[in-house]
Amino acid sequence: MARSEVKLENEAAQSTNALGPLVGLAREDFVSAVALLLRETASDPSRFVRHSTAMAQDMVKIMTGKSELAPDPKDKRFMDPAWQYNPFFRAGAQYYLAVQKGMKNWLEELELDELERNRANFIANIILDGLAPTNTLVGNPTAQKQIINSGGLSLIKGLQNAYNDLVHNKGMVSQVDKRPFKLGENIATSKGSVVYRDEIMEVLQYAATTDEVYEIPQLTIPPQINKMYINDLSPDKSVIKWQLDNGVQTFVISWRNPSKEQGHWGMADYIAACEKALEVVASISGSKKVNVSAGCSGGQTAAVLASKLAATGNPILGTLTLMVCVLHPKPTDIEAGSLVSENGMALARQRAIKAGIIKADDLARGFAWLRPNDLIWNYVINNYLLGQDPPAFDVLFWNADATNLSSSLMGDFLTLFETLAFTKQGEVEMAGHKVDLSKVTADLFILGGVTDHITPWKATYRSTQLFGSKDVTYVLSQSGHMQAILNPPGNPKAKYFVQAKKGKLPATADEWLQGTEEVKGSWWPLWMEWVQARSGKKKSAPTALGNDSYLPTDAAPGLYVVEEV
């Protein structure tokens, strides 16, 4: 695989779609952020003149060949030697860097609070990323060389790719070559069956791969805007296979992709579905307890579920594993989050209610423009200017296979964000009860990712302080969002951080980090030991799936992951 493809894979895999406060981001929030910059500019004309003069001086130096501006050696956009040795391209890069430098200096002088500064920086970076000369054929030496080396074929292929995206991808540049992947054949291949199906979900049971299994089963609750087979991409990085090979009885919920008619599905409906899934799993396994694992927005759902079970006195919950999930968000956790306003969220709610759903394509498009350099311009260069196919990468295939979001569920997630419901004890009503995580006493395993831009690890760490659990383990994986989870044994670069001395976790992430030790390798074995120690005794593995009450039907990964809406 070409080195450029590996870079594309890594960058996009760090920025997979995720559900959070950003679904409440309205276009008016972007407009207000730009208006803030214009207002601050007008408030002090002399400041604007001063910075304009400084930028003009840089331009003169560039035109006379006296400029010393040079790209950051780590900036992958300017790696081609032509940026250093060709006078035309060197000047082009320096003009861009002069604008970048001028805007940075100007922003630093503006009188803004932390939230406003984050907004300003975020908008400025989007604008600057779009102005990069590498985004155009005339300004990209690598693309020009590719035209010569290919005899013009790269230009033709680039035009074909652009046309295909316009016709078949709703105008969005493709991040993945979907052609090599087929569900059930070379992706999501673990053996299992649907053992329960209703309007909102399927419950899948996977076939044991060991002679003995632990008594207490595990149920995975996936995010509502992504499909469940992220847990079973390929045999070498399948969480499902890892659980099965370690004797864990494995069940997974597969959410149905809602259409406009299902726009009324809210958190109460999803929690009721989770309660039914727990009932199904308990019936089939014969266990009174069920361990639960969940990631991202599935983790928020699992937290509401745990609270509901505690409030109703239902003792079915065993352990709870939360991966890359934020329950206590703050506006400054991520720069994009600073754009979200109360007015913007209200407008986003109104539009979603009118439409019934937020379409998967709109979610993906909006998310891509929040990280345009990684998720748009990289692919414009690769697919259109260089005339290359996007990488065929399983994580990106899954990410492109997103689902719609019901307007009611979107509203409930925004309510959790606005009210900080998980930080309160019995103040916010959700899914037919008052949310109170202090009543949840299940053993907890919480995972964060060092380079996670979507659910920053320090934000995920705050969850350790919310529950009434006495046994809480926090692990920090050396990777980004989904890559933090999909980090199986065998990865030579894998490592994680864990508290060196057992005991109560510190109140803050910074305090925790000071008392950690670095461990080489995947965190999966540590987690599996943790799960096994809380999964009861071993017994003979079941020879068949389902039971008399819940008969197996369609083979895994089921029908809902392939259903067209």
Q: Report the catalytic residues.
A: 296
Residue with structure tokens 């060709």? 86
DSSP three-state, residue 271: helix
Q: Indicate the residue type of 325.
A: C
Q: What are phi and psi of 532, to 5 degrees?
A: -60, -40
- DSSP, residue by residue, 82-133: HHHH-HHHHHHHHHHHHHHHHHHHHHHHS---HHHHHHHHHHHHHHHHHH-G
CB 457 within 8 A of CB 449: yes
CB 348 within 8 A of CB 319: no
Sign of CA dihedral 525, 529, 530, 532: positive
CB 406 within 8 A of CB 266: yes
**Residues 517-540, buried b or exposed e (16+ Cβ, 10 A)?**
eebebbbbebbbebbeebbbeeee
For 194, the token pair is 């649907």
CB 81 within 8 A of CB 27: no
Instruction: Report the phi/psi class of residue 200: left, alpha or beta, with left for phi > 0 and alpha for psi in -120 to 50.
Output: alpha
Q: Cβ contacts of residue 292 below 8 Å, gap of 6+?
A: 218, 219, 220, 221, 278, 302, 305, 306, 317, 318, 319, 320, 321
DSSP three-state, residue 418: helix
Largest interatomic CA distance in the chain: 84
CB atoms within 10 A of CB 162: 18
CB 247 within 8 A of CB 210: yes
